[in-house]
Amino acid sequence: MSLANSGIMYLMAKSILVANWKNHPSSIDEVRILLSQMAKKGVLYKKLSLFIAPPLPYFESVKTRAKTFSSLASQDIFVAPGASSYTSQVTPDILKSFGVKLSIIGHSERRALGESSVDVSKKVRAAISAGIIALVCVGESSRDKDGLYYETLRDQIKASLADLNDKKDVAKVMVAYEPVWAIGKGAEAIDPTDLSQSVIFIRKVLTDMFGRELAQKVSILYGGSVDASNAPTLVEKTGIKGFLVGRASLKAKDFRPIAEALIAK
């Protein structure tokens, strides 16, 4: 196993917590405050694999101020369609040069902008080729009582992971189950029983695609309105390996109890 691969495997062995800052905080001064508050609990965060995915202009600040207790992550990855120049885009090589260890790929807010599962599958391959963990987001927009949303989930997983060159690369992929209806302001996190069923279903789809042994290596995270109040129950009662957190990752006092819930597992 190469050194890069063993580093990835090490990061995937512990409980996983991913802070998806999206387009926040609104200034670099707020970033500095948030990071210095988080650093006070650095010892706690080191007990898990914490990834921080900030807006790109904050990369250097996060890299410098949070390097002792977290790894840098990106909220997307760009795959150039050809050898040319692409104003505004950031390639896997650039991310890699910053020490990015994980890329969030196919977040529902990017899919809403037109990103398809085919695009996602190319990005997954690009991330893995660059030695970056691909955190693939999947999730239904709404639920129906007949359970047809499971079909959506299956289709998304199959199409998003269709482009893996080598099936063994599935061990460098994580899946974030993020039902769209559970994300963002005003939404509520999923019921733990429903989450358990979705985790079992996702594992079954992965098993059908890659076989049991490889499918077991894929960490399944949950995202969508995770906060201090629901994190302990979601950790305890479902088969998840960690969380992808939006709003609650923007305040140190809201984020810390989520980490504690994962550590207590």
* 145 vs 185 by CB, closer to ligand PGA: 185
The H-or-E segment that residue 8 falls in is helix 3-13
Asked if residues 44 and 263 have their Cβ atoms less than 8 Å apart, the reply is yes
Exposure string for 205-224, b = 16+ CB within 10 A, e = fewer: bbeebbeeebbebbbbbbbb
Stretch that binds ligand PGA, among 68-76, 115-123, 245-253, 257-265 (CB under 6 A): 245-253
247, 258, 259, 261: residue in contact with ligand PGA (rule CB under 6 A): 247
Q: Which of 60, 109, 115, 178 is catalytic?
A: 178
| CA pair distance 43, 173, nearest whole angstrom | 27
Given a contact cutoff of 8 angstroms between Cβ atoms, the answer to whether 52 and 75 are in contact is no
In whole angstroms, give the CA distance from residue 86 to residue 19: 28
Catalytic hit among 24, 107, 236, 260: 107
24 is catalytic: no
Q: Which of 210, 224, 234, 242 binds ligand PGA (CB under 6 A)?
A: 224
- Least distance in Å: CB of 244 to ligand PGA? 5
Q: Kindly write down the DSSP assignment for every residue of 104-138, as one continuous string.
A: EES-HHHHTTT--HHHHHHHHHHHHHTT-EEEEEE
Candidates 11, 17, 20, 256; binder of ligand PGA (CB under 6 A) is 20
Question: Are 130 and 76 a contacting pair, CB within 8 Å?
Answer: no
Q: Does 184 bind ligand PGA (CB under 6 A)?
A: yes
Yes or no: say if 259 and 48 are a contact pair by the CB < 8 Å rule: yes
Residue placing its CB nearer to ligand PGA in the complex, 174 or 244? 244
Q: Is 242 in the site for ligand PGA (CB under 6 A)?
A: no
Residue appearing with tokens 């196919």: 106
Residue nearest to ligand PGA (CB): 246
Out of 190, 245, 259, 261, name the contact with ligand PGA by CB under 6 A: 245
Nearer to ligand PGA, 156 or 215 (CB): 156
**Backbone torsions φ then ψ of 119, nearest 5 degrees:** -60, -45
**Options 76, 140, 169, 178; binder of ligand PGA; rule CB under 6 A:** 178
Rank residues 21 and 210 by Cβ distance to ligand PGA and give the closer one: 21
Q: Does the annotation mark 107 as catalytic? A: yes
Residues at the contact surface with ligand PGA, assessed by CB under 6 A? 20, 178, 183-184, 223-226, 244-248
Catalytic positions: 107, 178
